[in-house]
Chains A and B, each alone.
Chain A
């Protein structure tokens, strides 16, 4: 085992992690630990743009952006955080331009802007051009630009290192640490993929920027590596997860494959049509039609298919029509997504409409933080030195449904904020005592899993998880479907105890890595389903057919899910190992609580577009 000591350790090297690293590393000694090479992160797959009220092409201001974000999130957004994000968006975009990001330009040479779902002029009058973009490769350009700046500033990376535990001064899983008591982070335990060696990183501050958990679903735009690692690690150490029942399904995934086709396709004039050729969004959102927020468009599409107006031989998708756009315009503004349609479906978007269907895209929920990025361990107390930013976190700027482009904004604004806060805290803080032999639990679990001679395959358990989540916890949910999902997930957790890997080596053991990731997915899926079952209303990305209306009296509040010791009799207690790296059923319960929504300017209204 090797031991390292840094003032700040950042876990994850996507947009949020690298944006934090740029701030932190110029202030204090910083390391970035990433399970991938930084440029492989899924920020690079983002396409359409990053909204900021620059007003380069038409009148706009950050207050309109704040309002759109709050309304888009169906009023579950913390309005102070949304205001911070919309205000700081302008500098976030300008920062990236100064770092060299090659934005598309207006005829005057300024950053060009285009329309995007849910972003409107003057509180909903009409779609506004607010998204700053670089063709349909905005995320790629952000990721490359941030990595370029990290090279320039000599940021220290530990690539293909996998963080498996976060070390805290107190055991929060017992639920007995009193409110107000100081709890602090002291470091992380990591596994080096190339060698199988364990590394202990002692740190005054730790920033989680590990991204999302889309792989709990089968049909997803997310990378293979998006397995909710950071969320699950925090959760296993007794830190709550907020609003996990809200998962965004992006309307336009390539049918059957889930590969993302940007909303920019509709921002540039693309139209969704059903099997009858009808522009059906006119019925669901008369004012902004195809540019309604994603939850509304995804539900409308799924509804068209359910009512028999789906296209294709099985009537199981709708069509994204770009055929009325000039090929030169498509090439200039949407080159990558049209290439995806050609490569993966053999469809020529110049002349044929593209089959699309909603695809699991984004976790609105995550590790709760305040607007500085500090992680909350209950409704009010922070964990000293622990920060989170990006999709892993829940600030909450997205509420129950994130607007398109606001994720690239989130990672830049709150990545920067958490990097600054983590460095400043570390510079004034003392080292926190680490627990004795902090790696023991992780090592024992790794060895158990690596050496178990035979057992069920990881991939089979994962496949069954993804199937039940797609079938029972997707765009449309009911109490019955969610109870089925919960039963399935718990049975799969039981099966997980008996999975074994075939690769028994220490060098580059991705078989073992996938097994660990599956444990995280099973934890996260359970939290998603328990939260969804409990929320007996429909709001944003969470739609309950048995409770189709929003219920502000009952549920205008954030869900806080805690992992706590099992209550007697409720769930059978099994004798499974209980190290931090395990996800054995019966060793814990999920206890739900609530946190108030912060409202500043806007009273909840009915959400119409």
Chain B
């Protein structure tokens, strides 16, 4: 049947068919308003297709089975940072996990981020996270007179802090950190990443102030180099390396 190969449209039915498979989600739910003060587990089985993300499966549950299932999401392709959650024990963005990459024989365990107060189902209170971020002065502090045109910066100087400009503040790193779990006062990796982004920006003059803040007992020295954060980052930022560079800058005052 070489004809089929030369003229695939003769077999249109099978060509158009997209393989589907069933997945079971085991979701940690919490809704004091309707289900009491205890969190509980609930399983849902939905049909998925080849390119479906975990977010698509969550939507199928919400849209077709149980509208009360609650989670944040927006862009659905890994740039807005809304849908960070624990998926099979690891912090991930639900929109960047493809179902076909997970083991279909076992339920996919979905939980809210750890270390932040749960508000409902997979939604956590992000305020403590953003409060730490705000504390490290995450904005350019430039002294001197403002130039008429742009400030000059070489490509090499720009490259120095490129990695940490990618942060989308999803909290996957901070809420994967065992130090943060045991001590919510710790600034956490995301805040340090954003400090790094300015400390190593050649246009910035606020490094000394930020290092002072991060030299605090809840600051950068709490990091135990566990690497959970680097592993969790959906943007592939080398977070542990960034933290190490901030530690070194604190000692050498070279940045």
A residues sitting closer than 8 Å to B (CB atoms) are: 36-37, 39-42, 44-45, 93-94, 97-100, 102-105, 107-111, 134, 137, 140-141, 144, 148-149, 151-152, 194, 223-225, 256-257, 259, 313-315, 336, 340, 343-345, 457-460, 501-511
Contact = CB atoms under 8 A, between A and B. Distances in A.
Interface residues of B, number: 67
Contacts of B67: 457-458, 501-503, 511
Contacts of A225: 74
Nearest to B34: A505
A109 B154 contact: yes
A373 B62 CA distance: 39
Contact of A94 (B8, B137, B149): B149
Contacts of A224: 73-76
A314 B68 contact: no
B82 to A, nearest CB: 5
B6 interface: no
Interface string B143-156: 00011011111110
Contacts, number: 165
Interface stretch (B39-47, B160-168, B208-216): B160-168
Interface in B137-192: 137-140, 142, 146-147, 149-155, 157-158, 161-162, 165-169
Given A111-B150, A223-B75, A151 B134 contact: yes
Interface string B46-70: 0000010100000100111011101
Interface of B: 8-9, 12, 15-16, 31-34, 51, 53, 59, 62-64, 66-68, 70-82, 96, 98, 119-120, 123, 126, 130, 133-134, 137-140, 142, 146-147, 149-155, 157-158, 161-162, 165-169, 198, 201, 203-204
Contact of B203 (A100, A223, A459): A100
A460 B64 CA distance: 8
Contacts of B150: 93-94, 97-98, 103, 110-111
A223 B155 CA distance: 33
B80 A505 contact: no
A502 B66 contact: yes
Given A149-B139, A457-B67, A102 B161 contact: yes
Contacts of A104: 155, 158
B120 to A, nearest CB: 4
A473 to B, nearest CB: 22
B70 A508 contact: yes
A550 to B, nearest CB: 35
Contacts of A259: 76-77
12 contacts: A36-B82, A98-B151, A102-B158, A105-B154, A140-B166, A148-B138, A151-B139, A152-B137, A223-B80, A224-B74, A336-B79, A508-B70
A558 B147 CA distance: 42
B119 A194 contact: yes
A97 B202 CA distance: 13
Closest 5 CB pairs of A and B: A100-B140, A459-B63, A502-B67, A109-B152, A503-B68
A199 B51 CA distance: 41
Contacts of B151: 97-98
Nearest to A260: B77
A69 to B, nearest CB: 23
Contacts of A343: 78, 96, 98
B66 A42 contact: no
Nearest to B137: A152
A108 B152 contact: yes
A311 B167 CA distance: 36
Contacts of A506: 33
Contacts of B126: 37
Contacts of A313: 8, 15-16
B235 to A, nearest CB: 9
A336 B152 CA distance: 25
A436 to B, nearest CB: 31
A303 B12 CA distance: 21
A128 to B, nearest CB: 19
Nearest to B147: A98
A390 to B, nearest CB: 16
B95 to A, nearest CB: 9
Given A149-B139, A256-B51, A457 B80 contact: no
A507 B153 contact: no
Contacts of B82: 36-37, 40
B134 A40 contact: no
Given A102-B158, A336-B79, A344 B51 contact: yes
Contacts of B32: 507
A39 B134 contact: no
Nearest to B66: A502
A259 B120 CA distance: 29
Contacts of B130: 37
A449 B51 CA distance: 34
A342 B161 CA distance: 25
A506 B119 CA distance: 12
A505 B70 CA distance: 11
A510 B70 contact: yes
Contact of B77 (A107, A109, A314, A344): A344
A285 B27 CA distance: 52
A588 B69 CA distance: 35
Given A507-B120, A508-B119, A314 B138 contact: no
Given A45-B75, A105-B154, A152 B139 contact: yes
Nearest to A257: B51
A340 B139 CA distance: 29
B228 to A, nearest CB: 21
Nearest to B77: A259
Contacts of A97: 150-151
Nearest to A46: B79
B33 A105 contact: no
B75 A140 contact: no
A140 B16 contact: no
Nearest to A37: B126
Contact of A505 (B31, B53, B168): B31
A223 B12 CA distance: 32
A107 B155 contact: yes
A134 B59 CA distance: 33
Contact of B139 (A42, A44, A45, A148): A148
A502 to B, nearest CB: 3
B98 to A, nearest CB: 7
A44 B161 contact: no
A590 B7 CA distance: 49
A41 B126 CA distance: 16
A109 B203 CA distance: 12
Contacts of B162: 102
B149 A40 contact: no
B5 to A, nearest CB: 12
